[in-house]
Structure 1
Amino acid sequence: MTHPHYDMATFWAAATAVYLLAGVIKGVVGLGLPTVSMALLALWMSPVQAAALLIVPSLVTNVWQTGPRATFMPVLRRIGGMQAGVVVGTLGGTLWLGVPEGAWASVALGVALMLYAGWGLTGRKLHVSDAQARWMGPLVGLVTGLVTAVTGVFAVPAVPYLQALGFERDSLIQAMGISFTTSTVVLAIGLAGSGDYPMSALGGSIAMLVPAIGGMVLGTWLRQRLSVAVFRRCFLGGLALLGLYMVVRALA
């Protein structure tokens, strides 16, 4: 990280706070760790640096979310085509567009956050049949992969699509865990392949695992004690404002 030495304590304290908050949100609503961490970290570091820090916390917390093993294969079979699309889209996107860097990447991330928050706040329910999923899954995966390559965020349009498949709540959480794990692994491969994942970032990424897991544990505890619907609306509203700020700042 190219920051003056005397700023490093503040830098890591702020990053730790971001991952604690992102972990709490994931613990309460089942998603949001990559989205929140990318959005907040990109306020003071480049999107590619933020994506490099994201890899280990995202991978571990999402692998945790892929259980239980008994239902893993049935869920994977339903979203297998989508996962293939994610792989092609993310790797193709990093080769074609490069990794998230510069003002245009901040604009793309801001727009992705606003679209995701806007969809979530409208509360629209979509439905995709198994027949439609056969062709729609790979297409949604491809677009999600391209968005991941440009912004480091895996949720658009993956989450609305997974919700439209009609999974029960536990299976939906598992499906998101599988999809986010695929995105994390392939993004790491894309970053490494482009030479933008220095080994020096690995130690910081591992360190961010502690506040992320601590936040998840706290968020799981909070979920039993507050209105998830109200929390989710506040979370999405905050994301929309943050996305708007990032676009305006990058274009100013």
Structure 2
Amino acid sequence: MMPPFETDLLFVAALTFLLAGFVKGVVGLGLPTVAMGLLTLVLAPAQAASLLIVPSLVTNVWQLLAGPRFGTIAIRLWPMMTGIVVGTLAGTGFVRAGGAGWASISLGIALITYAGLGLTAVRFSVPDASERWLGPLVGAATGLVTGATGVFVIPAVPYLGALGLAKEDLIQALGLSFTVSTLALAAALTEAGTLHGMALGTSVAALVPALVGMILGGWVRSRVSEVIFRRCFFLGLLTLGTHLVVRSLL
């Protein structure tokens, strides 16, 4: 028999990753954002990030390998990827003992920022001449947010969207960024002693509902307006982020 806490954790994780996978299936991203936002309502940020590793890694590698030009994109984006690794390893200090409250606040701010960008449909453009120095800075900033919150969309997603990549190249570039972020986060959590056997086993178990959710999301994507869904999604993230910040400050 499993202890009640472990049983409850598996149930919460299953529902969370089913929903997170569903969102990713519909809009192409959002699995770590949704999963971390919901899991940190019942777990410390470092514990929630540990459960994220396997579902995030598998779904993002799947997205990465589905694209047509991995070599070209990897060569173009390697400075940004290097920055992600360095920033993630540096940022994990926020989720260690004594920093859980600040990590929750950081996650809430990241969710609010991400939702605000999505709701306002802000669009950026990066000149070719700026990409060489801006890429590593964006990567480092993304890594710091990843290490502190377990969410790796800010500022990576707006930046990659501003590079003017073709649709399939953009999807593959996002997959590369998310995969590197996940691997760096896994290394940092392992070094910190947070990613241990029990957490890893639960993370493996969470892969099944995440994949089921992705399949369901893909089915819904062809039948429901993505514009309406994305608006509801970002409003939900805005509410969740605000709740995390207010709860941490009280």
TM-score band w.r.t. shorter chain: over 0.9
CA-CA distance at 1:79 after TM superposition: 1.6
CA-CA distance at 1:168 after TM superposition: 1.5
Whole-Å separation in 1 of the counterparts to 2:67 and 2:26: 22
CA contact (8 A) 2:103 2:148 kept: yes
> For structure 1, which segment, 111-120 or 63-72, has the greater mean C-alpha deviation from structure 2 after superposition?
63-72
Q: CA RMSD in A?
A: 1.5
How do 1:224-235 residues align onto structure 2 when only pairs under 5 Å count?
A: 224-235=222-233
Give a deviation string over 1:194-247, Cα, whole Å, max 9, x none: 122112111100000000011111111111111111101110110010000011
> For structure 1, which segment, 164-173 or 97-106, has the greater mean C-alpha deviation from structure 2 after superposition?
97-106
How do 1:101-140 residues align onto structure 2 when only pairs under 5 Å count?
A: 101-140=99-138
Give a deviation string over 1:112-158, Cα, whole Å, max 9, x none: 10011111111011111221111100000000000111111000000
Task: Identify if the C-alpha distance between structure 1 residues 190 and 110 changes in structure 2 by more than 3 Å, giving closer, same or farther.
Answer: same
Cross-structure match for 1:194: 192
2:36 equivalent to 1:25: no
CA contact (8 A) 1:81 1:137 kept: yes
TM-score (norm 2): 0.95
> For structure 1, which segment, 64-73 or 173-182, has the greater mean C-alpha deviation from structure 2 after superposition?
64-73
Cross-structure match for 1:64: 62
Cross-structure match for 2:181: 183
Report the count of equivalent residues. Answer: 248
Cross-structure match for 1:216: 214
Which 5+ residue runs of structure 1 have no aligned equivalent? none
Cross-structure match for 1:44: 42
Task: Identify if the C-alpha distance between structure 1 residues 98 and 251 changes in structure 2 by more than 3 Å, giving closer, same or farther.
Answer: closer
Which 5+ residue runs of structure 2 have no aligned equivalent? none
CA-CA distance at 1:52 after TM superposition: 0.4
Whole-Å separation in 1 of the counterparts to 2:5 and 2:188: 30
CA contact (8 A) 1:99 1:191 kept: no
Q: What residue identity is the alignment partner of 2:115? A: A
Whole-Å separation in 2 of the counterparts to 1:155 and 1:230: 21
Cross-structure match for 2:204: 206
Whole-Å separation in 2 of the counterparts to 1:113 and 1:98: 17
Whole-Å separation in 2 of the counterparts to 1:171 and 1:185: 21
Whole-Å separation in 1 of the counterparts to 2:85 and 2:131: 17
Whole-Å separation in 1 of the counterparts to 2:20 and 2:198: 23
Whole-Å separation in 2 of the counterparts to 1:143 and 1:6: 39
Q: What residue identity is the alignment partner of 1:237? A: L
